[in-house]
Amino acid sequence: MKTKRKRLFKFFGGAILSVFTAASLSTTAMATNSDYLSNWAVGVAVVLDNDKAQTNATTANPQEVVEDSDGGESDSQQSTLVMSKVKEALNIREEAKSDSKLVGLLYKDCGGVILESVEGWTKIQSGDLIGWANNDYLYFGDEAQSVAAEVGKLVATNNTDALRVRKSPTKDAGVYGLLVLGEQVDAYETDDSNWISIEYDGNMGYVAAEFVTLEYHIDYGETIEAINAREAAEAAVKAKVQGTVEGIPEGTTDLQLLAALIQCEAGGESYEGKVAVGAVVMNRVASSGYPDTIQGVVFASGQFTPAMSGKVNRVLEKGGANASCLQAAQEAINGTSNVGGATRFRRVGNHDGQIIGNHVFW
């Protein structure tokens, strides 16, 4: 039985705990988010000031990352980011020994920050989870940053009442639609600092940078208490009508939910591109590294931005996805996959993999 339920933490700007260096981001996959990895810090449950972070944070695989007064890198602080190096989940212990009490799980593609180190073990904080992890199952330094850039995503949050999504980065360009206040969308850097490129109903759109806040999202682990509470809640609703858990309309079927996600992620793509997005969801359902239901996969925190932001729910509330997306969803549920076993996709240019339309799948 799979227990994974990934949660979310964010890379915030300001004095929190750990800063990255763009110089260490060497792969093509990281180019899109390099500036944010260099200027943003790891978000944790307890915000620490820089002085405290410099005093307490250590790492088994050091990398200096803080700028000194001359604008160069300082030797006074090291990278405190860690990422899990497991296929499913890593046990987090109360003490730095393998027979110590289990306090939580750090899942595949999840990260945290280093609080303390001893030989062979590292004490980390990942959301509410604090405990010791075996170093053999963690990435440090450049490797951690590489994994973070690979699995995380840049998200833009709209800060105004109605923000126009333009078809090109100019004020007189055509409009795809509007973002409502607080709506979140996947974002990408552009050559023009006045504009941010975003995913909008499967199209490449542009919004004025001054009206959005950018955050880099990565998942974190779960405490044993949180796992137990979640599993109890899941058991309690198994007999209820689907739709009561995540706020989707009552009676929503798996087909309707998957179709709504496809419309949000690939509404402007070809039919082949729509099937590919559906196949990614079904591949995750089949994988031990993800929840084992369509609803669980769609609403897993930090994964599909339209689900996180409520956009999928709004599509369902307005009558559901169009016929093409419904047909693509049905094909995917029936077992069709035109992307093999791929469990991820992004906009073309940000990763190597199989390209279909404007997305790359891997």
Q: Which CATH architecture describes the domain 242-361? A: Orthogonal Bundle (1.10)
Per-residue pLDDT of the chain (362 residues), as tens digits, is 444 444 344 433 322 222 222 222 222 222 334 344 433 333 322 222 222 233 233 323 323 333 333 333 333 345 789 999 998 889 999 999 999 999 999 988 889 999 999 999 999 999 899 999 999 999 999 999 888 888 887 889 999 999 999 999 999 999 999 998 988 888 887 888 899 999 887 788 999 999 999 888 888 888 999 888 877 765 654 444 444 444 678 888 999 999 999 999 999 899 999 999 999 999 999 987 778 889 888 987 668 888 878 889 989 999 999 999 999 999 999 999 999 999 989 888 767 899 999 899 98
Q: List CB contacts of 97: < 8 A, sequence separation 6 or more.
A: 121, 132
Nearest to 108 by CA among 355, 344, 352: 344
For 152, the 3-state DSSP assignment is coil
253: Cα within 13 Å, side-chain hemisphere: 10
**What is the rounded (10 degree) CA torsion for 265, 269, 273, 278?**
30
Residues 6+ away with beta carbon under 8 Å from 337: 279, 282, 283
In tens, the pLDDT along 25-73 reads 222 222 334 344 433 333 322 222 222 233 233 323 323 333 333 333 3
- Digit-coded pLDDT (tens) for 195-224: 999 988 778 899 999 999 988 888 888 899
- Indicate the domain borders of the chain: 1-239, 242-361
